A and B are shown apart, each in its own frame.
Chain A
Amino acid sequence: MAILSLAWKSLLNRRFTALLTLISIALSVTLLVGVERLRTEARASFASTLSGTDLIVGARSGPVQLLLYSVFRIGDATNNISWESYQDIAAHPKVDWTVPISLGDSHRGFRVLGTTGAYFEHYRYARDRRLVIDQGQRFEDLYDAVLGAEVAEKLGYQIGDAIIVAHGASDVSFARHDDKPFRVSGILARTGTPVDRTVHVSLEAIEAIHVDWQSGARIPGLSISAEQARAMDLTPKAITAFLVGLKSKIATFQVQRFINEYPEEPLSAILPGVALSQLWDLIGIAENALLIVSAFVVVVGLFGMLTALLTSLDERRREMAILRSVGARPGHVFALIMGEAGVLTLLGLVSGMALLYLSLILGQPIIESRFGIFIPLGGPTPYEWILLGAVLVAGVLVGSIPSYRAYRLSLADGLSVRI
């Protein structure tokens, strides 16, 4: 105890360098635990890009591919699902609801998704959060479009603006559905999911803009105006995929098997959570790299402490001789330097965590609205405690180097003071 109070007073006496050392340790701890928390939440948020949906159904393909085009709007489906099969599966007694998805068109680089009102009812992300219409309303008229937040922001669209949908993923003039312009009826609030980069229209609208098209091109000589199309039967012939909600989760595998073995056409049903974590395993290597880098930043911070303590030793040899003269053992001198390293590391941990929580409180709303990642303010997780403990152990190990040197010096110097 006596030695710890000496260590504390000695640090206060050198408060400027001690504070600099403390800050570098604190910042590195903030970074380490912040990266850990962010990557945990990013993973959780990614895993819940789509939640509440029990199965995603598409033409037969691998789970990741189906996930990529149905949820992330990346790539294309190998095949469509016929409207009859969709109706058939939707009528299965265990199925509670379905959300049809029809992809294939785009608007200035953003995918156009045809769906029904059920999409806004049942689509959930980030642990059961619903889509919220920020401005305007859902599609009421046939040629209404609801924009994701990023689409509206990047392209500067307001409610009532007209937009032209292009056929396929590339926006070239000869493949535009420019005879049937859409009107922006609503803009969604930001979700941090691929919904933000999607233009939503009704299934009927997808059908309407394609009535005079065949195999990706206009049928020569046939031209049906937007108004004429309204009068036609716009029931879709096929969709790209659909989301399924079940009455009970217990039936998930039963319904999945039913769809996978559906006799009329080859289909795949996947569990979104499983497919999402498979996908994360593919792209999640970067998060580990980030954690390793921040662990090295902690090592650099501790090396700063090592340098500060080692360089102070020479000017402190007199102090050690005085301590020896009043009866301090070389072990006391070791404990004095170790006490300083321990106090610096402990204070660094505490203030690093304080800084982390402060920046979480300030940054939480921004991170949530920008990236859709909600970072809870809870206490450290068991893994974070392990990280903090590892920093403390590393601090003690680093501190033992100057402490041992001081021990050797005080043993050699005794009461004689050489400067």
Chain B
Amino acid sequence: MVIEIEDLEFRWQPGAPRVLAIEDLRVAQGERLFIKGPSGSGKSTLLSLISGVTTAATGSVRVLDQALERLGSIKRDHFRADHIGYIFQMFNLIPYLSVVDNVTLPCRFSARRRANALSRSRDLDTEARRLLRQLDMDHPDLHRRAVTTLSVGQQQRVAAARALMGAPELLIADEPTSALDADRRESFIQLLFDECRASGATLVFVSHDASLEPLFDRTLDLAAVNRAAPPALAGMGEG
């Protein structure tokens, strides 16, 4: 199992109301999971817990058979650097780094991903360009341009290349397509699928856009799974 969550309860402070309560959630290796849920259903909290930025006082979050709550915060940051690729909704890129430097960024923080990248290409820049080419970003002009001049779609593909750099086992995408046109959404997701398949990565994809649901192996309705969610939110599409 890539992700195993058991009897999880999360509160911001002891005594505060529960934000997230999940009895059981498992994601298998290579699986492509679609998590849908409106704002306030606990999506960002769940992603913070899986990526090890926060931990819960009750229950267990295991990623790649490692119980994150048993690790110190520095170890969790290392764990994230080594094993997790992360794509934000938008503005994913460091404005003062070039396209290629943005893609190789995880290798500055993880020796493991650096070694993985170097086992595929002779140097990091070459591996970054290879990934960008896979994601239809192979025009050399694009690599030289300031990242702020790229279109939103191009920026998201650079972000995807960065998340895939060094072949992390788990890819987390937090509404990565919400800023894209409807016809670009599907092609972006297909590119993501292809790359995950090629590297054997597991994909956790969060969105409130239910139309993307059929593309995935499995769907998780967070509002239904999260026992802490206010009843009014359960079943709501948008938020």
Contacts and interface: CB of A to CB of B under 8 A. Distances in A.
Interface of A: 2, 6, 9-10, 12-14, 318-319, 321-329, 331-332, 414-417
A384 B48 CA distance: 51
| Interface band, chain B | 20 to 34
Interface of B: 44, 47-48, 51, 53-54, 73-74, 77-78, 80-82, 86, 88, 91-97, 101, 105-106, 108-110, 162, 174
Contacts of A331: 74
B81 A327 contact: yes
7 contacts: A322-B94, A324-B53, A326-B106, A327-B78, A331-B74, A414-B48, A415-B88
Contacts of A14: 96
B109 A328 contact: yes
What DSSP secondary structure best describes chain A's contact surface? Answer: helix
Contact of B80 (A6, A319, A327): A327
Which 9 residue pairs are nearest across A and B when measured between Cβ atoms? Answer: A327-B81, A13-B96, A327-B109, A414-B53, A325-B86, A2-B108, A329-B77, A326-B106, A9-B96
Contacts, number: 67
Contacts of B101: 9
A416 B19 CA distance: 16
B47 A326 contact: no
A278 B78 CA distance: 66
A327 B78 CA distance: 6
Contacts of B88: 321-322, 325, 415, 417
A13 B146 CA distance: 10
Contacts of A417: 88, 91
Contacts of B47: 415
A325 B108 contact: no
A326 B96 contact: no
Contacts of A416: 44, 48
B53 A318 contact: no
B106 A327 contact: yes
Contacts of B110: 327
Contacts of A318: 91
Nearest to A8: B96
A332 B108 CA distance: 11
